[in-house]
Each structure stands twice: as C-alpha cells, then as structure tokens.
Amino acid sequence: MTALTLSTAAASGLRADAIVVGVAKGAKGPVVAPGAEAVDKAYDGKLASVLETLGATGGEGEVTKLPAPSGFKAPVVVAVGLGTVPEKDETYGTDALRRAAGTAARALSGSKKAAFALPAEDAGDTGAIAEGALLGAYSFDAYKENGSAKGKNSKDAKGPLAEIALLGGKPRDKAYKAAVERAVAVAEELNRARDLINTPPNDLNPEAFAAVASAAGKEHGIKVQVLDEKALTKGGYGGILGVGVGSEAPPRLVKLSYTSSKAKKHLAFVGKGITYDSGGISLKPAGHNETMKCDMAGAAAVFAAVVAAARLGLEVNVTGWLALAENMPSGSATRPGDVLRMYSGKTVEVLNTDAEGRLVLADAIAKASEDKPDAIVDVATLTGAMMMALGSRTFGIMANDDAFRAAIHDASEEAGEPSWPMPLPDHLRKGMDSPTADIANMGERMGGGLVAGLFLKEFVGEGITWAHLDIAGPAFNEGGPFGYTPKGGTGTAVRTLVRLAERTAAGDLG
C-alpha cells in the first residue's frame, strides 16, 4: 500500500522522483496553480510559459512532464491539469483536486516517491488530495508474472507509486492530521474492495469472500457471523439458496457488526455479492459474461464501508450484510418456473434465473429488518437497465423515503461519486404479478431498474427507511482509467456510504 505523509519540506530540497504541481486553464493560456510558487520561482517565474510552449492548456486529465529547475533534488516536475481557473473568491473544487491528484499518481506509477504541491486552501482540500492520490496510486497486478505480489521489473506490472509527500500541509495541525488519517483509512479500504472485485471468480467464491471478511473483522474489532449453506437451509433463506444451488461453491450470508458506545443511530448496509453471474439456466450469451466477476461489487463496497467506519471510530452503529452466492447453470440449478420460499415467507416465481441479485438481496434485507435499524441501504450491480438509463459513471438511487434519497444523493456529491435519484412508480408492480406465487422475479422490460427496486421494496420491514443503490454502471470501468478511477473494479459507493455514516453520526439525518 502506498505510504502518505504531510511534509513541510521545501520543494527544492526534497529527495523524490518528481514534484507534482497544478496547472489550470486561464483565459489567456495555462496558469500555475497556488502551492507551486517556489517551483515557479525556480523557473524564474516562467513555468506557465514553458508549459504553454510544451502544449499544456491546464485542461483536466492533462499531464506534462518537464525537467526540474537546476538545484532541485527531484529530477522531474509533473504538471497536472486542474481544469478551468476558479472564479474570483472561489477555490478549486474538492473533486477537481481529487481527480488531478489521482491523474498525477497514475502518471507516476512505477516511481518510488513523489511530492505533491497542489492548491490546498484548508484541511478538507488536503484530505481530498490525499484521497485522490491514494486512489490513483492503485494497480492490480497480482496475476501478472512479475506483478507486485511476486516481484518487480515487469513491463506490464509497474506497481503503484510507492510514497507520497504532500507539501504545504500542516503536519501538527489537528484538522489536517484528521483529514489525512480519514483519507488513508477510506482509500485503503476502497482499494481493498477494488482488489476483491478484480480477483477472478475462480479464486473468490462465497466461502473465500466470507473468509476475507472474517479476518478483517478480527483485525478491526468488528463482530462477524457467517451463515453457511447448512445454517441458511435451517433458517429458510430460500432466495440465497435458490441462487447458489447450481454452483459447486455454496452460498454464504455474512453479518458484520460495528458498534460504537456513543452511537445514537444504527445503519444497515446490504450488499449484492454474486461472485460470478453466468445468468444460471437463463445463461448470459458470450459478450455479456466476461466482466461478471464484478457482480459482488455491492458486497465489496459494504464490506469496505463497515471496515472504514470502524477504523474511523464513527459514533454510529453500522451493520453490513454480504449476500454471497455464485450464479451457475447445472443439473441442480434453479429453473425458470421454479418457486422459491423466501426468508420473509413470501414466495417468488423465478421467471429468469439471471434476475438473481434481487433474490439474494430480498433475503438479506428481510433479515436486516429484524434488527429494526434506523435505515437500510442496499448496494447492488442489479440491472443492465440502470446502465442504459444513467450510463457507466452514475449510479441510481431509489428509496421509500424522499428525504433519505436526497440525503444519499448529497452524501454522494460530497464524496465525488456521481449518482442520480430515480423513482419507484407503483404501476410497475403489477408486471411482477405471478399466477402461481406472491410475486415473480421479473416484470416489464421498460424501466427494468425501477422494477428491480420495486421488487426489493416488498422485502423491507414495516416502517423502515430504505434506499437502493443500483451501481451496475459505475462499479466496473471497462474503458480507460481517468482521474482516480482505474480500469476494472472502481469501488464506487464506498465513499458515499462512509459519508452517510459520518453525517448520521453527526446527527444530520434527524
């Protein structure tokens, strides 16, 4: 894991592979951002014009490398684009800082140490830069021949930037220290979630995921209970069992309980943890199953958020539920037409075995409801329809409470995770009417993401506030990396959940 410190050193004297500065897009060309004054001075105040000569504009995502001024211990200056210069009296937005820091960290992968001299006005900005840098300094190369797990020096696997020093921060100031500690805890757990998402499904089945959760629970003082297939059968978890029954690797339901002696509220997070989604008997065609190891991204996000809450000592109780199963076709698999008796007692006619996420979540949501938490939030790569609606970078939020949906949207904006509120129109419920069972697991094709949300709503305990995050789009980045987002597992929703827990602890949610 990349190490990060606050430093008061002067840029010129620092032994590092590179100094990172910010450059923004001004009306008349690139402008050097605050924080880099000393560096600019060493170029005789000509850094902006040198950058312009090299073709830099200050646009977001841009990286320009140039030789450091003479007398500097670091050989290279990396100028990273911040986007448009802020209006007078405004500052660079926190997510612009996060993204720029992430872009710079990615550009420096394979390097040992870099010093960041980006514009930070306060501890919040410094925390954002720390978070962006640590999230950008991520690589998953455990399966490369010379990957970080096995050694170095591979062309394919450079490994992440190893050490980051943030210049201009105040290492002795309480607020700065706390901001950096928070960024480190959140980024480390988020990067662990990315590792889980990226781990191939032959190495991460429900049992293996549960083992990872148990180990982390021990390390961080979180109580962990694992229900195996025997316990699930005894407990009547027909949804989780029905999805997992086709696989050689049996399902699990994991409960992670973080409690604070000062807590006034209790949040329950529920994650969809399909370690591989083949579609089951309603098999997905080639072209639709290659990335389906990512179908446990909701459970990975919930897991990371609970551990982060524990590491931060948040004054709120947080329970995480990981609904883990592998969806496979076989002679023992659930058939389209089968009826499952769910944990809640409701029966479900399975019309399409590829609509499996709602089945495992329904059991976990019903179980989570028994604790009577103040709110339940489920997180799931649930529908291709949500991806169609919102694209690949924005998750949808549905809820049975307008104020709670808005609060989650606010939390996601603060976290820098794009999301958008979606409705749960009552009229779509009748499409799931079943002649045989209480409900079918499929309804109208149009508005498929909302149909899935309406299905889940039926399993929320009476009177409990609930929201559903459909992260099918942003959970797995199939395109190129950008900002602090790598290719592959992104860890989306982790920071929204942590922010929500923080706001709940602070009493912001009533």
Contact residues toward ligand BES (CB under 6 A) are 277, 295, 352, 354-357, 381-385, 387, 442, 448, 472
Task: In whole angstroms, give the CA distance from residue 484 to residue 24.
Answer: 18
Query: What is the rounded distance in angstroms from the CA atom of residue 145 to the CA atom of residue 73?
Result: 34
Beta-carbon contacts of residue 142 (< 8 Å; ≥ 6 apart): 148, 149, 195, 199
The helix (run of H) or strand (run of E) holding residue 270 is strand 266-277
Give me the residues paired with residue 476 across strands: 489
Site for Zn ion in 351-380 (CB under 5 A): 357
Structure tokens of 387?
């991806």
Min dist CB 381 to Zn ion, Å, is 6
Residue of minimal CB distance from Mn ion? Answer: 354
Q: Choosing among Mn ion, ligand BES, Zn ion, none, which partner's interface includes residue 68 (Cβ < 5 to 8 Å by kind)?
A: none
Q: Are 107 and 142 in contact (CB under 8 A)?
A: no
Which residue from 277, 214, 270, 282 is spatially nearest to 476, judged by alpha carbons?
277
Strand partners for 320: 256, 269
Provide the minimum distance between the beta carbon of 240 and Mn ion in the complex, in angstroms, as a whole number: 14
Give least dist CB 382 to ligand BES, A: 6
Binding segment for Zn ion (CB under 5 A), chosen from 19-27, 160-168, 194-202, 272-280, is: 272-280
| Binding site partner of 383, from Zn ion, ligand BES, Mn ion, none, Cβ cut-off 5-8 A by kind | ligand BES
Q: By C-beta, is 257 or 383 nearer to ligand BES?
A: 383
Please give the positions annotated as active site. Answer: 284, 358
* The only residue of 62, 95, 125, 295 in contact with Zn ion, by rule CB under 5 A: 295
Q: Which two tokens stand for residue 402?
A: 């307008």
Nearest-Å Rg of the Cα atoms of the chain is 24
What is the C-alpha separation between 383 and 93, in angstroms, rounded? 32
Closest approach of Mn ion to the CB of residue 189, in Å:
27
Secondary structure of residue 223 in the 3-state scheme: strand
The count of C-alpha atoms lying within 13 angstroms of the C-alpha of 260, restricted to the half-sphere facing its C-beta, is 22
Residue nearest to ligand BES (CB): 384
Q: Considering the complex, state which of residue 40 and residue 470 has its C-beta at the smaller distance from Mn ion.
A: 470
- Select from 250-258, 259-267, 273-281, 480-488 the region that touches Zn ion (CB under 5 A): 273-281
Q: What angle do CA 413, 417, 420 make, to 5 degrees?
A: 70
Whichever of 277 and 458 has its CB closer to ligand BES, that residue is 277
Q: Kindly give, in sequence order, each residue whose CB lies less than 8 Å from that of residue 88, ignoring residues fewer than 6 positions away.
A: none
Site for Zn ion in 404-443 (CB under 5 A): none
Burial (CB < 10 A; 0-12, 13-18, 19+), residue 418, is middle
Cβ closer to ligand BES: 448 or 489?
Answer: 448
Nearest CA-CA partner of 309 in 134, 178, 498: 498
CA gap 405, 388 in Å, rounded: 21
Is 262:347 a contact under the CB 8 Å cutoff? no
Residues that bind Mn ion (CB under 5 A): 277, 354, 356
Task: State phi, psi for 458 to the nearest 5 degrees.
Answer: -65, -15
Rounded to the nearest whole angstrom, what is the least distance from the CB of residue 294 to ligand BES in the complex?
Answer: 6
* In the complex, least distance from residue 273 CB atom to Zn ion, rounded to whole angstroms: 10
Collapsed DSSP state (helix, strand, coil) of residue 339: strand
The residue (of 11 and 297) whose beta carbon lies closer to ligand BES is 297
- Name the minimum Å distance from CB 446 to ligand BES: 12
Closer Cβ to ligand BES, 373 or 449, answer by number: 449
Interacting residue with Zn ion among 95, 277, 363, 470 (CB under 5 A): 277
For residues 69 and 448, which CB has a smaller minimum distance to ligand BES in the complex?
A: 448
Min separation Cβ 355 and Mn ion, Å = 6
Shortest Cβ 331–ligand BES spacing (Å): 22
In whole angstroms, what is the distance from residue 57 CA to residue 84 CA? 10
**Measured from the CB atom, is 417 or 470 closer to Zn ion?**
470
**Binding of residue 315 to Zn ion (CB under 5 A):** no
Q: How far apart are CA 298 and CA 469, in angstroms?
A: 9
Cβ neighbours of residue 239 under 8 Å, at least 6 residues apart?
Answer: 340, 342, 343, 348, 359, 360, 361, 362, 363
Residue 385 interaction partner, one of ligand BES, Mn ion, Zn ion, none, beta carbon < 5-8 Å per kind: ligand BES
Residue with tokens 């720029």: 100
**Closest CB to ligand BES among residues 477, 504:** 477
Q: Which residues bind Zn ion (CB under 5 A)?
A: 274, 277, 295, 357
